[in-house]
Structure 1
């Protein structure tokens, strides 16, 4: 996913994803309709042709029978159906796959600005469920619901017009059957279905969340001997999902039973009407048979209406669940008119003045009148007790939250007046517990700078003293495994640091860079920091005791303010 893709979909509604492919979708609907019309007309024409052939045979050699026109029509309709069905599948599935791709990019583009401020309140498993289950329902909405329903409408109208030309009473019967079998019964089946689909989606999401969290915490569950209790919860969630699916199937089966009864009655009525038309109105036997066979084709077509309506309801529910995530207001707002940062990319003073911050819904001020200056090239460390506000301070500098009072300036400009993208370009950030992704060493490093050359990658590896290890283990294509499975704790933190240092921002922000490391490994990493920074400014959040020479100034955060140490 490129920055261009993110910019394309940021702020766009879900409907924009489908609108971007409207030409393909419209073409697929047209081809779908042609396929259905050709199939219905083919069955009607074939029935009339067979009836005429049989009657001509019974009448003997003297009977006249137009063989060539119907047979030519049958061949033409057969070819039209084959060709249109091929291109309908080609175009429809192409549009669906493009929508599936863009839906996921749209979701990420809309959701990423909400992290971590707003998404922090949503369980990871719930987000995963929406990304997999709900997007799966929405991206197939056209193929399973919208396309078939539109095509059914087109075919029904075409069949009614043909019936009007052949025998108007038959057209009236077909209209009644279309309303009853094609519309009323399917809608009856999905009546109240929105609530059922909402419940079903929530239960499926709960099951996915429990399964995901159980796998993520398998080691802890084993250590606490809590696997049995967790499995009971998963089984209960699975039973609820199965119950929702059974209710859904019962609704569909009831609708199919009602459809079958009405379809049988309608077909008998059409047969009786066709015979009456032949006997009393002089309707040609071939045309009477065509009406009956066309009715058979339409009944088969309308049989799929229930599933299409059900898919439409499920898709709308899933679309609403996706919108509920991405339409949250972000924790910080972009300025209406962003100013341009003077001397962007160059070292400058970072100044925090009289910063006041408290989390929404809490009275306690995490930061209360905090002041801090970091000169160009200066290395500053901030320590403090857990919950004192160290990580909150880093979030404010990253502009993932804004202070209620005070100002943060860089090069004399308020960072709130800059666009988020422009401000983030000035930063190189290593978060607490920075993840290592499944992939190669080069792929992990280039998350910091996608355009970095191999020479730049080797240079930054040398700065964090990972170049020797990389050379001994396959170079830049070394597979590091999921969560850095092939790395030691110290190597994983050095790799995360190298990834941050690849960003060209003049201010490096490190949040607990030695988290989870033993004392010797932590000190070795910290002692290499001054050389690795190459003169850039540093703000390090750490509760560890730092070796001499790592930073220029140390502070302790207490009661919302910084107290100098040493």
Structure 2
């Protein structure tokens, strides 16, 4: 299936966007028509009174038209806001879903090189710029183009030189002035977006690491870095506002000259008997209305540039090629328990020449419990990453039941594995919500059982039961308790293969050994691949290997 693009998200809401644009055009048209008609009507009424022709002057038709245009403007304005905001909120929702759907398959391999704050900036700020692309930029510019055309046509029906002047003014204030005001805008907006992302990243990382910064007496230095980033962004915002103000000044200057030119043209045509007084006044008021409508074009052009830059930043993330590819014709994953085999596996991180794994052979048969030990950075976690198929080996293969993992659909393969990574998170929520990430259908009894297996049953009772709140990142728990809760979540997952990366990290020796003995019983008939630095109690695993210089040696 072809991946969804950002354009597809907007196409899904095209009818709402089209309706919002038409309603905006109607609102603008009613406003321009109202000003032109009322101006002509007041001029004709004044002349009729001055010339003593009040008894024959038609008050009713123009006044009815003014009331109709007023009501149309009110109604269309209301529904334009209603439909426009509805479409924007729907697009904002779908853009976030689109971003997650495209970005999550890149984790952790591709997204690992991006800072969390940077990703948050793209997810929040950049999507916020893109979701209003139509309502804040394209729709106003399209409506303005339609109004300019309608105004020029109306002026052409009255006096064609006036139509030429209006066309020139429309081009100058609708395109020329905004382009002058936002010149080199893409580069400026890209720099501003990066500054905004840097500020958000610094603020986020400062909040996340406030305990360490306090312990290192580095909070003041970090605060200065945040302030410097904020001031840099503020200066960029000021320059952006100055460009917009400069465009407004230029717009006002052209508008003043244009209005004087139209006034002279209308009076000249009236004096020459080519245009009636009421129509001459209508031309002047049409000019005023067009210039007023075009005053917002600079903001629309600026919003268009911001959205383009933000869209490019989002695509820089989601358009990265995934570390692993889905097979065109996925092979069915065996339902029965079969062996996992590493055959002459070679792997080096992209851009590096050192092989972390250099011809590794390993077999994990159903019910096997094996441990991989070795120094930090020797490739133990890389071995589990290949089993999880976060990466594919450069040479050799990892097979399940004799079939290369590259032949399986990724989501089908992931269902075969329960994984406890080194940095397994505890999510903001209750104990039960965290556990049910492993098995959404698990009963309360199953949750209590697995808590007992990891020696958290008494703690959960003291906290108030399964619905007790664990806080952001497990703020109410010790590091060891958070580790055991994550282990319970992995145990709860009904998968034939368990991969545990440092399962006892953060636990004291006695608790860790007791937990490992219980773990051996809890695993049951499942296969277990454990990555650890620690010495293991007797009976926890059946075989231990040491990984060094890219090779596995049986201990």
State the TM-score bracket (shorter-chain normalisation).
over 0.9
8 Å contact from structure 1 (residues 355, 370) kept in 2: yes
Q: Do structure 1's residue 547 and structure 2's residue 525 form an aligned pair?
A: no
In the superposition, relative to structure 1, how do residues 451 and 155 fare at CA in structure 2: closer, same or farther (>3 Å)?
farther
Q: Secondary structure at the match of 2:473?
A: helix
Deviation by residue 1:147-176 (Cα, 9 ceiling, x = unmatched): 111111111111111111122111111100
Residue 521 of structure 1 is matched in structure 2 by 511
Q: Secondary structure at the match of 2:272?
A: helix
In the superposition, relative to structure 1, how do residues 44 and 333 fare at CA in structure 2: closer, same or farther (>3 Å)?
same
Q: Do structure 1's residue 466 and structure 2's residue 456 form an aligned pair?
A: yes
Structure-1 separation of matches of 2:503 and 2:137? 51
Structure-1 separation of matches of 2:43 and 2:405? 82
1:282-361 alignment runs, 5 A limit = 282-343=274-335, 346-361=336-351
Residue 152 of structure 1 is matched in structure 2 by 144
Shift of 1:20: 1.4
Q: Which of the numbers 546, 552, 555 marks the counterpart of 1:556?
A: 546
Structure-1 separation of matches of 2:50 and 2:460? 89
Q: Which of the numbers 506, 511, 515 marks the counterpart of 2:496?
A: 506
Q: Which of the numbers 485, 488, 491 marks the counterpart of 2:475?
A: 485
Q: Which of the numbers 464, 469, 485 marks the counterpart of 1:495?
A: 485
Q: Do structure 1's residue 380 and structure 2's residue 356 form an aligned pair?
A: no
Q: Do structure 1's residue 20 and structure 2's residue 29 form an aligned pair?
A: no
Structure-2 separation of matches of 1:301 and 1:455? 66
Q: Which of the numbers 383, 391, 396 marks the counterpart of 2:386?
A: 396
1:85-104 alignment runs, 5 A limit = 85-104=77-96
Residue 4 of structure 1 is matched in structure 2 by none
Q: Secondary structure at the match of 2:429?
A: coil
Deviation by residue 1:480-527 (Cα, 9 ceiling, x = unmatched): 101111123332122112222332221111111112222223223222
Shift of 1:341: 1.6
Q: Secondary structure at the match of 2:546?
A: strand
Q: Do structure 1's residue 177 and structure 2's residue 139 form an aligned pair?
A: no
Residue 162 of structure 1 is matched in structure 2 by 154
Shift of 1:298: 1.2
Structure-1 separation of matches of 2:467 and 2:48? 78
Residue 118 of structure 1 is matched in structure 2 by 110
8 Å contact from structure 2 (residues 372, 545) kept in 1: yes
Structure-2 separation of matches of 1:190 and 1:454? 60
Structure-1 separation of matches of 2:290 and 2:409? 58
Shift of 1:468: 3.9
8 Å contact from structure 1 (residues 351, 372) kept in 2: yes
In the superposition, relative to structure 1, how do residues 496 and 101 fare at CA in structure 2: closer, same or farther (>3 Å)?
same
Residue 232 of structure 1 is matched in structure 2 by 224
Shift of 1:62: 5.4
Q: Secondary structure at the match of 1:549?
A: coil
Shift of 1:558: 1.4
Structure-2 separation of matches of 1:514 and 1:471? 22
8 Å contact from structure 1 (residues 432, 512) kept in 2: yes
8 Å contact from structure 2 (residues 332, 408) kept in 1: yes
Structure-1 separation of matches of 2:59 and 2:440? 69
In the superposition, relative to structure 1, how do residues 457 and 82 fare at CA in structure 2: closer, same or farther (>3 Å)?
farther
Deviation by residue 1:205-251 (Cα, 9 ceiling, x = unmatched): 11111122222222222222222332332222222212211221111
Structure-2 separation of matches of 1:323 and 1:458? 44
Deviation by residue 1:135-158 (Cα, 9 ceiling, x = unmatched): 111112222211111111111111
Q: Which of the numbers 180, 189, 197 marks the counterpart of 1:188?
A: 180
Shift of 1:460: 3.3
Residue 3 of structure 1 is matched in structure 2 by none
Gaps of 5+ in 2: none
TM-score, reference length from structure 1? 0.95
RMSD of aligned alpha carbons: 1.7
Q: Which moved more, 1:436-445 or 1:178-187?
A: 436-445
Shift of 1:56: 2.2
Q: Which moved more, 1:234-243 or 1:163-172?
A: 234-243
Deviation by residue 1:153-202 (Cα, 9 ceiling, x = unmatched): 11111111111112211111110000111110101111111111111111
Q: Which of the numbers 7, 22, 39 marks the counterpart of 1:30?
A: 22
Structure-2 separation of matches of 1:225 and 1:459? 44
